[in-house]
Structure 1
Amino acid sequence: MIPTMVGGVTRADSVWDVHRLPRADDRTFLVTGGNAGIGYFVAEQLAGTGAEVVLGSRDPAKARAAMAAIRAQVPDARLRHLPLDLADLPRTTGWPDRLDAVVLNAGVLLDDPRRREIPDGHELMFATNHLGHFGLTALLAPVLTPDARIVTTGSFTAKSEHLDFADLESTRDYRPKPAYARSKLAQMLTGFELDRRLRAAGSAVRSVVTHPGGALDGLTPARPAVHAGRSARTLPAALLLHGKHAGAWTSVRAVLDPTVEGGDLWGPRFLGFRGRPHRERVRGPLADLDAAARLWAISAELTGTDPDFPAQTGAPR
């Protein structure tokens, strides 16, 4: 369902306020990479709804710092840490008993010109950003509620990339920024393919893809021990970009807004770079159904997993 247009703005957009989020007291959400960057602000904003928020993070000290920062903003926040290394999922323990949403947010962006690999030989960014979340989705399937949401945080940089299936992990022509963009494209394609598979299976779980636009550290409010705060040197960038707190809005809306549909793409309103979240058209490389299906098969082979969500009889869609 596409909400009715009113003066160029959808009716759903006209009533959605990023600063007045609906309550979610009886729900539990997992945010991967919830200890820093956009993931931190996703966790902070979701904590303000009364939900229990699970921060997936490799580093216990950083997770503790993030939880302290969130409680400084939301004194009654219900938080816990899930030790989570997307490059080493088999060692993860302490999975939640139930989840109403998972935000697949954690990501690695390298600027080192040297190609780096994790111990099993996969390129680091492709392994963490894409393969790790693919495997995690399979592991979480049994604990997701019947109408849960799986929210994939992509990147607007992915829109101008294409996957090279002869060299998915950039072994021949490694450049950090294109390799990152391709890893995010892989992640986003998988989010769309996942929703198609959920629908085919008759499942009520929804897969939604988002991107934060242009989210800069220098436009982000301070959070002691997590983020230093705004820089006057980047103020001119505010005309086109926004901070990481605003970059979190698309994922938060995808988790909470009942009008969000499976298979949606949500990004910032102003040219896809800044502003409040709105639904975008899925087009270009993101709409390549053949590439998405082919990538799914390869990812299942590389990870030894295949996310499987059985149909929920009578569940809402």
Structure 2
Amino acid sequence: MSQPSGFTDNDVPNQTGKCFVVTGANTGLGFEISRVLAAHGARVLMACRDRAKADAAMARLKQQVPAANLTFLRYDQADLDSIRAAADQVAREPRVDVLINNAGVMNPPLTRTRQGFELQFGVNHLGCFAFTSLLLPKLAENAGARVVITSSLVHKTGKIDWSDLNADNGYERRPRYDQSKLANILFLFELDRRLRAVGSSITAVGCHPGFATTELGRHIRFIGVLKPLFGLIANTPAMGAWPALQAATGIVQAGGYYGPQGRGEIRGPSGEAARAPQAVDPDLARRLWDVSIAMTGVDPGLLPAS
């Protein structure tokens, strides 16, 4: 079977003079995204929780791209105070062109964020919502700025448990992960609608990496046994970065959603991806927007789309 055509790292244009913020940049997809952007001349703010791991990642990246322009950004997506502090630091940059929301967690045991939210919803959605909202004024300073939001294939099975968003009454790992990924794409949908409604120059774009072999799956049972099989059917981290790179640097549609073009959108070069019907439900998206403001205390300040 021939490989489908689509966007790869070879299609990334020159990014000299541009500045990117990449969350979760020290490993997996975030590292590969940062590596490719740096190799194409971009300044990359590597937003990471652990300074030692970030320093090791930057050293490794500079071995591959000696001229890389990298800066560590202390950033814990499980702590709203850390998110606010990181946003303040980013605001002092001369310019910021693209925010790539890549950081996330998958299938951990029941854990809470610093503010007490269930970890998967708190990190994957609320942290992304808060950081994006806080950076919108900075991004608006540059025409053509973008926000990239990473979702997943599993958003298609996601359902928002409005009666128990914080998992106070029960916790199952996989449904909570699916919920958080549906929340990501609902956020993309509503953010795009509101940006367009106010005539903003910022473009919101979504992506998913397909099935990529990264550390994100470390909480999946039997992952060690199944890893050799995954290697036959899954994207490598470098390949899994292609949709985010397309969303961040390619020719895209405002509000577009991009992912691998191979069978089932599991692997391969990037192109337009499919969304579940609930991912484009305006009532769900609007409700999630309002709930997110109430939970985080962060208001993007964008008027509702008509």
Into which bin does the TM-score normalised by the smaller protein fall? 0.7 to 0.9
The answer to whether the aligner puts 1:247 opposite 2:244 as a matched pair is no
Give the structure 2 partner of residue 127 of structure 1: 122
Task: Map Cα deviations across residues 165-186 of structure 1 (whole Å, 9 max, x no partner).
Answer: 1122332231112211211211
CA pair 169-216 structure 1, distance change in 2 beyond 3 A: same
SS in 1 for 2:270: strand
Q: TM-score, normalised by structure 2?
A: 0.86
Matches within 5 A, 1:214-293: 214-217=211-214, 234-257=227-250, 259-270=251-262, 271-293=264-286
Superposed displacement of residue 187, structure 1: 1.6
Letter in 2 for 1:242: N
- Report what 1:71 is aligned to: 62
Q: How far apart in 1 are the matches of 2:302 and 2:59?
A: 35
* 17 and 131 in structure 1: CA distance in 2 versus 1, 3 angstrom threshold: closer
Deviations 1:138-180 (A, max 9, x none): 2111211232110001111111111121122332231112211
Residue 86 to residue 22, structure 1, CA distance change in 2 (3 Å): same
* Aligned equivalent of 1:25, options 16, 32, 35: 16
Unaligned runs of 5+ in 1: 1-8, 219-230, 311-317
The one-character-per-residue Cα deviations of 1:278-301 (angstroms, maximum 9, x if unpaired) are: 102333221222111100000011
CA contact (8 A) 1:154 1:185 kept: yes
Deviation at 1:129, TM superposition (A): 1.1
* Distance in 2 between residues matched to 1:111 and 1:90, nearest whole Å: 22
Mean CA deviation greater in 128-137 or 87-96:
87-96
Whole-angstrom CA distance in 2 between matches of 1:68 and 1:309: 39
Q: Show the counterpart of 1:160.
A: 157
The residue number in structure 2 matching 1:82 is 73
Higher strand share: 1
Q: Distance in 1 between matches of 2:44 and 2:178?
A: 28
Q: 1:71 to 1:58 in 2, by over 3 A?
A: same
SS across alignment from 2:201: coil
d(CA) in 1 for partners of 2:123, 2:28: 16
| Amino acid in structure 2 at the alignment position of 1:122 | F
Q: What is the aligned-residue RMSD (CA, Å)?
A: 2.1
**Match of 2:16, SS?**
coil
Residues 17-73 of structure 1 deviation map (CA, whole Å, 9 limit, x = unaligned): 422521010100000011112111111111111000110011111111111111111
- Checking the alignment, whether the CA contact within 8 Å between 1:97 and 1:143 is kept in structure 2 is no
**Could you tell me which residue of structure 2 aligns to residue 149 of structure 1?**
146
CA distance, structure 2, for counterparts of residue 22 and residue 146 of structure 1: 17
Question: Contact between 1:147 and 1:205, CA under 8 Å: does it hold in 2?
Answer: yes
CA gap 1:123/1:232 in 2 versus in 1, 3 angstroms: closer
Report the TM-score, using the length of structure 1 for normalisation. Answer: 0.83
- CA offset at residue 269 of structure 1? 0.5
The alpha carbon displacement at 1:237 in A equals 3.2
> Between Structure 1 and Structure 2, which shows a larger proportion of helix residues?
2
CA–CA distance in 1 between the matches of 2:154 and 2:241?
A: 17
Matches of 1:279 and 1:189, distance apart in 2: 17
Aligned residues: 283
Between the aligned partners of 2:280 and 2:115, the Cα distance in structure 1 is 31
> Which residue of structure 1 aligns with residue 207 of structure 2?
210
Q: Which amino acid aligns with 1:287?
A: V
CA deviation digits over 1:250-270, x for unaligned, max 9? Answer: 00111111x201111101001
Is the Cα–Cα contact under 8 Å of residues 18 and 276 in structure 1 kept in the other structure? no
Q: Is the 8 A contact 2:155 2:276 kept in 1?
A: no
Aligned residue number for residue 185 of structure 1? 182
Measure the CA separation in 2 of the matches of 1:216 and 1:200: 38
1:222 — aligned with what? none
Match of 1:315 in 2: none
